[in-house]
Structure formats: structure tokens, C-alpha cells
Amino acid sequence: MTTQTLASAMAATLRPLRLNFAQVCIWCGYRWCTSPRCVGLHEKSVWIVCIDCDGFGVLGPLDACHCVHGLMEATPAVDSAELRRPLPVYRPEDDEPEFMVTPRSAGRP
């Protein structure tokens, strides 16, 4: 599997849009927000690929990740080892069948 370290992924600035696709501010939750506070927070914020879902947005077949479109805000508490871990190119689960087909028992109506 081809991998890339998070550090190299960070070389390209990772940052979600301040207003989500529905135009709601990710900082204050107000639609069409123009608050200087939110703009400032957003400009200073540092984002990394989500350490829970690797940026794929899902934790399992039924669990969505609560990150921001695959990114999470970095904090000083982030272990530097997290920045050097290899990133998968696709979800490992995609290699596995999502469901099993169980054949009907034969010979009974």
C-alpha cells in the first residue's frame, strides 16, 4: 500500500473552509458568519489529518467520525509521532467485503 507521512501531507496547508458547505461557520455555528473573531481564529488554527479516521470520515460501517471533513484541529497535545505516522491511501476496510451473503438452506420450501 502506498503511504505518505502526515508531515509531508501537512506541507500542503490543510485547512477546512470556515463556512461549511451549508455556509455555517465551523467556529460559532452561525450561518454566513463574518465575525472578525471567527476569521482570526480560523487563520491562526492549525489542522492535521484526523487521527481517528485518517481523513476518511468514517470509523466503521455504521460510525461517522466527528472530525471536520477528515481534518482535526491540531493542539500542542498532539504527539509528534502522530505527525510522522504513515497515512493509508485508502481505507483498509475497503479491502474487505462489507457484508456476507448467506445462502438459503437448501431442500426446504
The residues binding Zn ion (CB under 5 A) are 25, 27-28, 33, 35, 38, 50, 52-53, 65, 67
Task: Please report how close the Cβ of residue 15 comes to Zn ion at its closest, in angstroms.
Answer: 15
Choice between 77 and 103, CB closer to Zn ion = 77
> Which CB sits closer to Zn ion, 6 or 67?
67
**How far is Cα 94 from Cα 96, in angstroms, rounded to an integer?**
5
Query: Nearest distance from residue 11's CB to Zn ion, in Å?
Result: 20
CB of 103 to Zn ion, least distance (A): 37
Nearer CB in complex with Zn ion: 6/50: 50
Beta carbon nearer to Zn ion, 4 or 35: 35
Q: What are phi and psi of 72, to 5 degrees?
A: -135, 150
Strands annotated E in 1-101: 3-5, 47-49, 71-73, 86-88
Q: Hey, which residues does 25 pair with through a beta bridge?
A: 19
Nearest distance from residue 94's CB to Zn ion, in Å?
16
Number of H helices, E strands in the chain: 3, 4
- Alpha helix segments (H runs only) across the chain: 6-11, 36-44, 80-84
